[in-house]
Structure 1
Amino acid sequence: MKKQKFSIGALLQIDLKNGQYAFGRVVNKEETLFYDFFTDNISNLNFAKIYSAKELFRVSVMKYAITSGLWVVIDNKPIEADLALPNKYFIQDMITKEFSVYHQGNIIPATYEDIKGLECAAVWEPEHVEDRLRDYFAGVPNVWVEDLKPKLQVN
């Protein structure tokens, strides 16, 4: 694998190791967006089709997924302003089970209603993202997504 530079705007080709390839894009210094698009034929990629695909999810990913060359940078173009804005994430205290919302370095107390539908604040390993993408495209639940769902406190 060839070393690569981490850069905002990079379009990433992700080998799902099942004959399929998925695609992501570095949208800011903290997040990578993953597209609802895959292919089993990378010999004739249509970048416009990838860029116009629906956003599936975005999370923080260990930078070595890119810098090591595991995920290959296949294009790079400036990020649109609306894509560059970081998402909100939820945090759950392991002991008290209380929720907070993390957004752009700020953490504020929250209710379950406030965090419903948010991703958990976590930095994902590349293989876990690959698992998540494979499972999504196969239409099956993903163990990592399930594990990171908010836990309601039962009294």
Structure 2
Amino acid sequence: MVKNFECGKVVQIPLSNGKFSYGLILSDPLVAFSENSYDVPQSDLGKVFGGKLFKIWVMKDALGKNGWSKVGCIEANQIELSEPKFYKFDLLSKQFSIYTNGNEIPATKEECIELECAAVWSKEHVEERLLALSEGRESKWVSSLSAESRV
């Protein structure tokens, strides 16, 4: 059985505008994505992840047989490996919290503004976000999941 979430594995993501983006598997289901896109496939994969990144949880089907192609591996220590902080929002109580390393602590909306939502992204939603970044516009999924849009 193939391990889709193998730490250090790099995947290439072809975008609908002809550009390429890249993801780096950190753990199951955490993936770091470069905010840069490229006109041609890249061979220096370490350099691809030298700029600004975002880390989100990704559905398993985004990787493997029907997902993004593995194009190489890099040493995972090249990327900040600490578990990111995510925010959660309870629709019933209207309360925010911060989730990291399996722990959840109460938080204010202001503390959550810059954090990613604790959500697992589909392949299509990640591709839309990367496409929006490559075109210099805001992703509809980022704006709909932002802490600012809550309450």
TM-score by length of 1: 0.86
- The residue that corresponds to 2:114 in the other structure is 117
Q: Distance in 2 between matches of 1:81 and 1:17?
A: 29
Contact 1:8 1:28 in 2 (8 A): yes
Question: RMSD across aligned C-alpha pairs, in angstroms?
Answer: 2.0
- The residue that corresponds to 1:71 in the other structure is 68
- The residue that corresponds to 1:131 in the other structure is 128
Q: 1:20-59 counterparts in 2 under 5 A? A: 20-42=19-41, 45-55=43-53, 57-59=54-56
Number of residue pairs aligned between Structure 1 and Structure 2: 149
Moved over 2 A (4+): 44-49, 51-54
Q: Tell me, which stretches of 5 or more residues in structure 2 are unaligned?
A: none
TM-score by length of 2: 0.88
- The residue that corresponds to 1:91 in the other structure is 88
- The residue that corresponds to 2:15 in the other structure is 16
Tell me: CA distance 1:152–1:73, structure 2 relative to 1, closer, same or farther (3 Å). closer
Identical-pair percentage? 32
Deviations along 1:26-48, whole A, 9 cap, x unmatched?
Answer: 11223100112222222x63324
Residue type at the aligned position of 1:18: N
Q: Tell me, which stretches of 5 or more residues in structure 1 are unaligned?
A: none
Residue type at the aligned position of 2:83: P
Q: Distance in 2 between matches of 1:81 and 1:54?
A: 13
Query: Helix, strand or coil: the match of 1:129?
Result: helix
Tell me: CA distance 1:107–1:81, structure 2 relative to 1, closer, same or farther (3 Å). farther
Contact 1:27 1:83 in 2 (8 A): no
Q: Distance in 2 between matches of 1:9 and 1:138?
A: 27
Residue type at the aligned position of 1:106: N
Deviations along 1:8-54, whole A, 9 cap, x unmatched?
Answer: 11111001122111011011223100112222222x63324313233
Q: Distance in 1 between matches of 2:72 and 2:130?
A: 20
Deviations along 1:67-124, whole A, 9 cap, x unmatched?
Answer: 2242111111331176221100000011221101111111111111221200000000
Report which stretch shifted further, 77-86 or 106-115. 77-86
Tell me: CA distance 1:69–1:4, structure 2 relative to 1, closer, same or farther (3 Å). farther
- The residue that corresponds to 1:144 in the other structure is 141
Q: Distance in 2 between matches of 1:68 and 1:89?
A: 29
Residue type at the aligned position of 1:70: G
Q: Distance in 1 between matches of 2:71 and 2:79?
A: 22
